[in-house]
Structure 1
Amino acid sequence: MAADPDTHRNTLLREQDERIARDLAESMRSGELQSAASFGKPLSEADGWDETPVEFRMAFKVLKNAGVPPPELAVFQERAALRRQLDAAVDEGEKQGLRERLAALEQALALRLEGMRASGKL
């Protein structure tokens, strides 16, 4: 009699979790983890993370980590960069130009996201 596929899958996942836990425990005992420069520190957030709407963050992160970043992610990063430039600008003419670019970008982004929501793609 064949084993239930769900039971088999759950057994494999549990074994994988246990193997990962053993490897991590060994790395802790050996000091390998503690020697990493990032040990005990929070991971840095990607550029544009805070500017990305909460409902899109995880989906965009998964796609980016899979090597397939959605085009909207680049727009969020560009928006974050424009905001930084605007904050740092001292010349009023430069500020006005940056405000206009930012407004146009935000309008295009809002329309794109609304289209994604309306079509059910997100």
Structure 2
Amino acid sequence: MSKLDVFSKLAEQKIQEAIKNGELNNLPGKGKPLNLTDSRHIPPDLRMAYKVLKNSGMIPAEMEIKKEIALLEQLIAQCTGEQEKGELKHKLQEKAIVYSLLMEKRRSK
């Protein structure tokens, strides 16, 4: 078992214990939707550009590819024909490679 697995199990145990003890019952924002437009994961110098793109209906290339990957995964899960499933898996691998290359390029900047 890796250190990450041990940490994950310990964290999950602590969370379950806090739920059981009612420590998470009165958190701010309880019952409200999550803010999925949070931009903390976007580098500060790119946030305004991303916001402009989002408001204009455009999304970054890596996000578009992630959407395509998710769609391909859904299609593979529902596919019954082996030949078609193989073709979809091939497309999925291609998209995963393109995504990896885009992310590597972004990290190297």
What's the TM-score once normalised by structure 2's chain length? 0.51
Structure of larger gyration radius: 1
Q: 1:58 to 1:82 in 2, by over 3 A?
A: same
Q: 1:113 to 1:101 in 2, by over 3 A?
A: same
For structure 2, the 5+ residue unaligned runs are 1-30
**2:65 aligned with 1:75, yes or no?**
yes
Per-residue deviation, 1:99:
0.3
Per-residue deviation, 1:80:
0.5
**2:84 aligned with 1:94, yes or no?**
yes
Per-residue deviation, 1:45:
6.1
Aligned length, in residue pairs: 71
- Residues 1-122 of structure 1: pairs in structure 2 closer than 5 A: 40=31, 42-43=33-34, 58-59=41-42, 65-68=51-54, 69-118=59-108, 120=109
Per-residue deviation, 1:81:
0.5
What's the TM-score once normalised by structure 1's chain length? 0.47
Distance 1:57 1:97 in 2: 37
Per-residue deviation, 1:111:
1.1
Distance 2:85 2:32 in 1: 36
What RMSD in Å do the two structures reach over aligned CA positions? 3.1
Q: 1:116 to 1:64 in 2, by over 3 A?
A: closer
Identity rate, percent: 26
Q: 1:70 to 1:110 in 2, by over 3 A?
A: same
For structure 1, the 5+ residue unaligned runs are 1-39, 47-55
Amino acid at match of 1:95: K
Per-residue deviation, 1:58:
3.0
Distance 1:89 1:57 in 2: 37
